[in-house]
Structure 1
Amino acid sequence: MAGYEALAERKPTRLKQKMRRFFGAWGVFFQGFVEHPVMVGSIIPSSRYTIRKMLRPVDWERCQLFVEYGPGVGTFCQPVLDRLPRDASLIVIDTNPLFIEYLNRTIHDSRFVAVHGSAEDVEEIVRAHGHEQADYVLSGLPFSTLPEGLGPRIAAATYRVIRPGGAFLTYQFSNAARNLTAQHFDRVDSGFEPLNILPCRLAWGWKRKPDAAASNG
């Protein structure tokens, strides 16, 4: 390869590295959006108001495994870790290796595991890390723009992996995630957060606990 050709190949990489260093998490998030717009829900990370409202219903004392789909640069990761019990775990799953590399480089917590993979494989991923089920699953994936058939497969796998009494937490700009959640979960609570760019629709899909009478019978 000629010297000028090698230099031409290195320039974009160096430019990306400079952008990441200058803009920090925002630069990484923007690059991830540009490279994989279909898989990233927004060009801007969620606001602290969205984070607070989304996590409010979680029973943290009973949470041993929290899973997140599409963590991006970790907007929710530290708030979850701040609330999570010391003996619990947070597993995040993302198809973008750029985000996984960034998270592993910036989050140093023994309870944290970042997996490069697909949310539709959540059951296998959870088992591979020594768990049978998750207490809560959080998703900011853009279900309305995912490849055909992927959204329903993710929703079905999520229902199976969540323990009875647990919940599937979603935030999105449309009702696509809520509608998919309603097809599987026993109860869906809805919310809205205007203090977000763009304003965000929230949903909590709850998996019913086994009826006490039925379990005793």
Structure 2
Amino acid sequence: MKETFTFLRNFLRHPTQVGAIAPSSPGLVKAMVDGFDWQSARNIVEFGPGTGVFTEAVLDRMHADAKFFAIERSAELVEATRARCPNAIVYEDSVTNVAELCQRESMDGVDSVICGLPWASFSQGLQDEIMDAMLDVLQPGARFSTFAYWQGLALPAGRRFATRLDQTFSSVQRSHTVWRNLPPAFIYRCVC
């Protein structure tokens, strides 16, 4: 319950940085992580771990030889993720600095990005800046997954993001709807 209040407090303080009022549900976490080949993924980055629900699932599934780190802007959410996942490397930073953080972690390129950022809340400039920073580190064939809330598709930024995905990746698929999430959501599963 404490993490729900932490999440809600961060949403109220920074609604354009935290896109929901509650952490992702177990069903959304499962739908998100099921889209990756954890046996072959070696360089994994998480954007916007929030309270660490995806982080925990990634750490449970990733190969012993894989490297992983997460990037979160909110100091309070960094603390929450570190408390949930004390073995995880979590940077309090902007995802636009992903290339520098990859160098720090000795990652030559990234093959998997799991993302909890609220794309439908972002301006076009910020969407482009984050996407370009990510594309600079993604290897050919890399996987990128992020979730979206259905109501976000009604927003211009949500539609713009969906179009950008289609223009950027060789494959973009949508998962089933996870109805037991607040609010209901689906996963974009993309391949370079």
On the 8 A contact 1:103/1:114 being kept in 2, the answer is: yes
User: RMSD in angstroms over aligned alpha carbons?
Assistant: 1.6
Letter in 2 for 1:167: R
The match for 1:152 is: 128
Distance (Å, rounded) in 2 between the aligned partners of 1:162 and 1:35: 32
Q: Which of the numbers 135, 139, 145 marks the counterpart of 1:163?
A: 139
The match for 1:190 is: 174
On the 8 A contact 1:159/1:184 being kept in 2, the answer is: no
Structure 1 residue runs of 4 or more that deviate by more than 3 Å after TM superposition:
none
1:32 equivalenced with 2:10 (yes/no) = yes
1:128 offset after TM fit, Å?
A: 1.7
Distance (Å, rounded) in 2 between the aligned partners of 1:178 and 1:170: 11
The match for 1:12 is: none
**Higher CA-based Rg:** 1
Distance (Å, rounded) in 2 between the aligned partners of 1:105 and 1:200: 26
Distance (Å, rounded) in 2 between the aligned partners of 1:37 and 1:28: 13
1:90 equivalenced with 2:75 (yes/no) = no
Structure with more relative contact order (C-alpha pairs < 8 Å, separation 6 or more): 2
Letter in 2 for 1:130: S
The match for 1:120 is: 96
Q: TM-score, normalised by structure 2?
A: 0.88
Letter in 2 for 1:133: G
On the 8 A contact 1:158/1:168 being kept in 2, the answer is: no
* Sequence identity percentage: 27
Distance (Å, rounded) in 1 between the aligned partners of 2:47 and 2:120: 15
What secondary structure does 1:138 align onto? strand
Are residues 199 and 156 of structure 1, via their aligned partners in 2, closer, same or farther at CA, if it must alter by over 3 Å? same
Letter in 1 for 2:5: G
On the 8 A contact 1:156/1:184 being kept in 2, the answer is: no
The total of aligned residue pairs comes to 183
Are residues 165 and 204 of structure 1, via their aligned partners in 2, closer, same or farther at CA, if it must alter by over 3 Å? same
1:61 equivalenced with 2:7 (yes/no) = no
- Where does structure 2 lack aligned partners over 5 or more consecutive residues? none
On the 8 A contact 2:98/2:133 being kept in 1, the answer is: yes
1:148 offset after TM fit, Å?
A: 4.3
On the 8 A contact 1:41/1:172 being kept in 2, the answer is: no
Q: TM-score, normalised by structure 1?
A: 0.78
1:131 offset after TM fit, Å?
A: 0.6
1:125 offset after TM fit, Å?
A: 1.4
Distance (Å, rounded) in 2 between the aligned partners of 1:65 and 1:36: 30
